[in-house]
Amino acid sequence: MFVRDEECMKFHRRFRRRPHVFSGAPGRINLIGEHTDYNLGYVLPAAIDRRTNFLAARRDDDTVRIWTNDFRQEKKFSLHDLEVKSDCRWLDYVKGIFWVLKKKGCGLHGMDGWIWGNIPMEAGLSSSAALEVSILFALNRLYGLDLSKKEIVSLAQSVENDFIGLESGLMDQFISVFGRADHALFLDCMTLKSRLLPMRLKQHDLCVLVYNSGVRRELSGSEYNQRRKESSAVIQNLSSTGIYSFRRLTPEGLDRRRAGLGDLLFRRARHIVTENMRVEKAVEALRNDDFFQMGRLLFQSHRSLRDDYEVSCPELDLLYAFGLEFDGCLGARLTGAGFGGSGIVLLKRERIESFERRISRLAAKKGFPSPGFYKVEIGNGAAVENME
């Protein structure tokens, strides 16, 4: 029996009715291009085979009832009461979806919903975007909203920016919608032009291993928004010289403006400028199946995130340092916003067990949390289907 069928029976037992739609959306890894999305630069994410799934049935009133397997909780709210409640963050994301749709003028009623999945939360794999996208796909079908995929991306980002208060870019939502199995996605965050690039990992006996540092972070309460303010301050500072975008800067041009920026803003800018360049080089590496070059770029990205953007932590620096020395590791870096969460490792498949065993030993010696590991496949984007 399929897992979805089992969840349908649980849905029926809890709500005494059958679901009308089923949707699912993936988490993601960002191969390279960190903190460049909200700076209108380049990113290279990939969807993974870990997903958030959603079953829903329409209601005729204004009540929303939601059950989540992750927390073993049922919550209820009215469409007339869409206030942020700090004591239940997962529910705030659900409320935020209805809030942005009402703001857009979409005609909505209540619903009964059932959430489950296997994306680790607060691990830097974008469980929040997968939740937003899966529910938006379901509501779009459930109420015939006729939203395009790009509108869904924009609405999901608005949940984070305008309702939750996290000033994130739209990379996570974009790859959750548009990802394809065995492909990375190059995205220009200024123009929203994108193209899929084959990732022939299996043909080269390689895999992507996710390393969960065990350090949890709450982005809206972290320094994430501070980094965004600092990068905006760079552009504000440089605008008097005719520079309105990081994309107008080269490393040499940035060096000439160092004195005017000061050390902190210079280092923030240097990360963004060089990270955009690394994304472009990574695209070329994937085109040529040059995974050794890809790995070198991952190591370079981590050093920049650690030293210039200062979003790493000792647990993720351990991954970088160990990866440099481990035979069979082509590259490693933190992925996601940082401040904890996860890193990724480009690794020979036959070396997975040895890598996990040895770095776990090192983490224990240093008194770090016991890390978690997920060998992920590159998966498909969001999908929805009728259940009636």
The catalytic site residues sit at 172
- What residues pair up with 280 in beta bridges, in sequence order? none
| Tokens found for residue 252 | 């040499």
CA distances from 183 to 20, 67, 197, 201, 322 (A): 31, 33, 5, 10, 27
Helix (H, G, I), strand (E, B) or coil at 351: helix
| Tokens found for residue 285 | 């590496």
* Helix-helix angle 89-104:149-158, to 10 degrees: 120
Nearest to 52 by CA among 206, 183, 156: 156
| Tokens found for residue 343 | 């890193």
Name the pairing type of β-strands 111-117 and 63-68.
Answer: parallel
- Would you state the torsion angle of the CA atoms of residues 300, 302, 304, 306, taken in this order, to the nearest 10 degrees? -150
- Whether residue 297 contacts residue 278, with contact meaning beta carbons closer than 8 Å, is answered with yes
Give the separation between CA 13 and CA 160, rounded to whole angstroms. 32
Max alpha carbon distance in the chain (Å)? Answer: 68
Residue that is written with structure tokens 């905006």 in the block: 232
- Whether residue 160 contacts residue 126, with contact meaning beta carbons closer than 8 Å, is answered with no
